[in-house]
Structure 1
Amino acid sequence: MHAQVVLFDGFDPLDVIAPYEVLEAAGTATEGLLTVELVSAEGPREVPSGLASVSLRATAALDPARADLVVVPGALGRLPDDDEPTDDSIPVILARTLETALPTLLGEALDRPGLTVATVCGGSLVLAMAGLIEGRPATTHHLGLDLLGATGAVAVDARVVDDGDLVTGSSVTSGLDLALHLVERELGPRVAHAVEKLIAHERRGVVWRPTGVEPTVGV
């Protein structure tokens, strides 16, 4: 299984590093059954994050033809408010990805059978603003749920939402939970448990799926 974690200008470093480390640890625990690399839509390059002093190097191009899992992070910048959006606000940073090849490549990824696209925090908004997940359940940071729903996606206020080939995580630290869920789903609970023990993190929250009995009253 090969995973590609996407970098774009202004990405949130923790959205990338948390799932990357979990996936890398799972690969080590299985002697290479899972491999992971950092990629960008443009190919190998230094990619600046939303922290001025932090950048990461993409070692390859995002390639849906050779990936089994693609992880899309959110952005780090100013939180949205009632003032005029600025160049360093999160919605603007995310919207700039639409001017790159990233939406086309993510569309190819979602169209490819057997490939899972996962997102952390505002990563789901990249897909949503590109019109790629209309009608599909997804989550994002709680401050972005209204925007997610406005794009036509079905916004779910849950830590992790699993809709088969689309798995989304809510806020920054949910990248750990999302990645551990994917490891368990793809490689089994023993590998996921080993990684969970290694990083001393117990997953939080129920993984929401569009299955089972639907509640008829609020609890």
Structure 2
Amino acid sequence: MQPIQPAPAVSQPSVVIATSTPATMSAPVPVPITCADTPTVSQLVSKPQTGVVDEDGINLEEIREFAKNFKIRRLSLGLTQTQVGQALTATEGPAYSQSAICRFEKLDITPKSAQKLKPVLEKWLNEAELRNQEGQQNLMEFVGGEPSKKRKRRTSFTPQAIEALNAYFEKNALPTGQEITEIAKELNYDREVVRVWFCNRRQTLKNTSKLNVFQIP
């Protein structure tokens, strides 16, 4: 018997396992978010390059002039922003409140909002001025409030008038009503003004006398 020869070794093809290199993950790019506030009329008119008309075709110079004139005319009627706001809120709604009137006069408002407010304010102010021509009471009925109390202008005496009043006071510190009337006519001042002067003068003298008493050693 012939010896059994071992079978030749069959070479197995080597299997190469390729290790996949993980792909590099790129960081996510943030999406820019822009939320710029709409500029106000005041901001736009303060920029020379903007011009008098903005991109929406609104005449900013016209709005600025109207806002300035509106305030002047409102004050000439003796009305406050609160009175105007309350009157307009009652007829037009809360969009025309006192704060809206304040922002409009300061131009702290967007062009579109100003364009919306302008015709309403103009119509209301024209009506208020017509009512005022018929009398203060008619204006207050239109506004829906009491007349605003205006502070009386303080009277300034001339040096000659002060000298004459002091001379009268030296003679008589407590003149009668008739004497006050005669003094007022002579000095060409209102009787009530002269009467108040004598009252104030007596009070000043009284306070000075008390002060002197306390200063006596």
Same-fold call, TM cutoff 0.5: no
TM range (shorter): under 0.3
Q: Is the strand fraction higher in 1 or 2?
A: 1
TM-score normalized by the length of structure 1: 0.20
**Structure number with bigger Rg:** 2
**Higher RCO (C-alpha under 8 Å, 6+ residues apart):** 1
Q: Is the helix fraction higher in 1 or 2?
A: 2
